[in-house]
Amino acid sequence: MDDVDVEVKMLQDMLADQCQLQAKQLKSLEDEVALLKTRAQAFAERRARRLATDPLSGIDTAFVRRVEWKLQKCSETIRKMSNNQCIWSSSFSAMGVPDMQLEFFPQGRETSQKGFCALFLWCPGHLKLKYRLEVGSHASIDEDVFTSRIGHGHSNFCFLEAQIDDKDCLVIGLEILEVTWTQDLGQGLRLVNRGPVDAVNREAAVLHHRDRESVEWKISNIRRRIQELPMGACMCSPLFSAAGVRDMHLEFYPNGLEGSKEGYCGFYVRCPTGEYTLNITLFVGTARRGPSKTEFNGNAAKGLPEFCRLDEQLADAEEDLIAGIVLQNPLQEQEEDERTLYL
């Protein structure tokens, strides 16, 4: 009985310790939940105050490409303004670019022709923008680099009176066509953001190139590349989509991989992380390898370290080399056979 009592006492002590530890952990979790609730409440209050002063701050403008600024009662306002006198639009955001403004000179600037208006777009720095400015039905497409907060536009945009409608109104428009953000972090590191439309276009390319089964990559100045790149160094093609597979690229080793025979080039294709089974044929010049059923698992490249002798694919006067891939996606062909939806 004494042994049993000792065992029971040990179990009771262990249970008490576990209960104490559980209570401490539960208290820690409750404190964390209370802190998160406090932060969430503070965030909601800040957002409410911001919306009260700036209603547009609650609007997601990442995919807003067009902005229209309507000026009413032109006879009472802009027609009476003097040369070199401007009006500013409210600040706005579009395509992820904040703090944009339009600067409009109804009677032009000092360098403007008589009767012509001037229009400028102001943006923050580190930005490359392709955009379309409009005054009434007149439009101009420009591409500018905003190195700092500065205005780009035209001092002689158009003849103003011809753009005021019969309701005495004038509509000034901006449409963003392409946007590229850059940010230098130092030590040669640079961040590039091409905006949300670029991501949409990349996904659209998957559908647009869905039926493409052949990709050709033109490698310019191949003889110079052979001199510049040592054995084991590769060139990478741009990313492409074909046969329903996105973000593929080709890798070409002009002088082969480490341990390869001298004079042989290496050639590979790499798919994004995932599992794909494709029938592929790789070619460099007139040399072809395949078709072969190839399984892509993970991010491994598939190809040959000694694909062909490169000098045999170079004509005497030719400075460019064509390499590429022919591929078929059995999964896509299966999907093509399953186009009927049964309800």
Q: Is the separation of the CB atoms in 285 and 313 below 8 Å?
A: yes
Provide the whole-model pTM: 0.55
- Other C-beta atoms closer than 10 Å to the C-beta of 292 total 11
Q: What are phi and psi of 62, to 5 degrees?
A: -60, -30
Predicted pLDDT at 335: 59
Given CA atoms 93, 99, 100, 102 in this order, what sign does their dihedral have?
positive
- State the pLDDT at residue 85: 92
Quote the CA–CA distance of 141 and 152 in Å, as a whole number: 12
Q: How confident is the model at residue 99 (pLDDT cuts 50, 70, 90)?
A: confident
* pLDDT, position 80: 87
CATH 2.60.210.10 segments of the chain: 66-185, 209-336
Helix (H, G, I), strand (E, B) or coil at 256: coil
CATH of 209-336, one of 2.60.210.10, 3.30.1380.10, 3.40.309.10, 3.90.660.10: 2.60.210.10
pLDDT at residue 272 in the model: 75
Instruction: Please give the pLDDT value at position 125.
Output: 85
pLDDT at 262 over 60: yes
Predicted local confidence at residue 258, as pLDDT: 87
- Would you call 256 exposed, middle or buried from its count of C-beta atoms within 10 A (0-12, 13-18, 19+)? buried
67-89 average pLDDT score: 91
Average pLDDT, the chain: 84
At 202 the pLDDT is: 73
Q: Is the pLDDT of residue 303 over 60?
A: yes
Span 66-83, average pLDDT: 91
pLDDT category at 339 given cuts 50, 70, 90 is: low
pLDDT band at 154 (very low <50, low <70, confident <90, very high): very high
The arithmetic mean of pLDDT across residues 47-67, rounded, is 68
Instruction: Give 3-state DSSP helix, strand, coil % of the chain, rounded to 5.
Output: 25, 40, 30
The model's pLDDT over 273-295, given as tens digits with 9 standing for 90+, comes to 667 788 899 999 999 998 888 88
The CB density around residue 81, as the number of other CB atoms within 10 Å, is 15
Check whether domain 66-185 has CATH 2.60.210.10, yes or no: yes
- Range 15-31 average pLDDT: 85
Residue 1: band (very low, low, confident or very high) from pLDDT cuts 50, 70, 90: low
pLDDT for the residue numbered 268: 92
CA–CA dist 272, 295 (Å, integer) = 12
Nearest to 302 by CA among 271, 332, 273: 271
Q: What number is the average pLDDT over the span 105-119?
A: 93
**Lowest-confidence segment of 27-41, 222-236, 244-258, 322-336 by average pLDDT:** 322-336
Band of residue 20 on the pLDDT scale cut at 50, 70, 90: confident
